[in-house]
Amino acid sequence: MLSKQEIFKLMNENPVFHIATMDGDQPRVRGMLLYRADENGIIFHTASTKDVFKQIKRNPKVELCFQGSNCQIRVTGELVQVENDKKLREEIFAHPTRKFLQAWKANGIDGLLQIFCLKNGIATQWSMETNFDEKQFVNL
């Protein structure tokens, strides 16, 4: 099992992940783009117009799935909306990997940006080699 720091490293090096939410009694899964994962939490963003935003607001319990080169990390937890961190918002808008958000800012619709953070998640690792082993968990 990877350590907490190795898990954060894997996430940051493989920033495309999948998130599972609930839409009533129907699970929904889609790809997302990580902003950052570290001791402060797993941070990503979406738009307030998206179904995923509405689903998280109704039920903040989610599972995230990150794929490394030879393993998968699944993290279960509850998301918290980050609403009053102006510094983080500006950091995201200015980040080189978020150039696509500049149009929102230029057009005065930057309020669409909604930031979420998963703190105190519980991670488990899967690989072909450990496929039938008992699951081990790491608190993040």
pLDDT mean over 46-66: 98
Of the candidates 46, 47, 22, the residue with the CA atom closest to the CA atom of residue 33: 46
11-35, pLDDT tens digit by residue?
999 999 999 999 999 999 999 999 9
Q: By three-state DSSP, how is residue 34 classified?
A: strand
Of the candidates 134, 129, 24, the residue with the CA atom closest to the CA atom of residue 72: 129
What confidence score (pLDDT) does residue 122 get?
A: 98
Instruction: Please state, as a whole number, how many other Cβ atoms lie within 10 Å of the Cβ of residue 89.
Output: 19
pTM flag (> 0.85) = yes
**Separation between Cα atoms, residue 47 and residue 116, nearest integer Å:** 11
Per-residue confidence at 43, pLDDT binned at 50, 70, 90? very high
65-122, pLDDT tens digit by residue?
999 999 999 999 999 999 999 999 999 999 999 999 999 989 999 999 999 999 999 9
What confidence score (pLDDT) does residue 134 get?
A: 95
What confidence score (pLDDT) does residue 119 get?
A: 96
Which CATH class, in words, describes the domain spanning 4-139? mainly beta
Q: Which residue has the higher pLDDT, 45 or 1?
A: 45
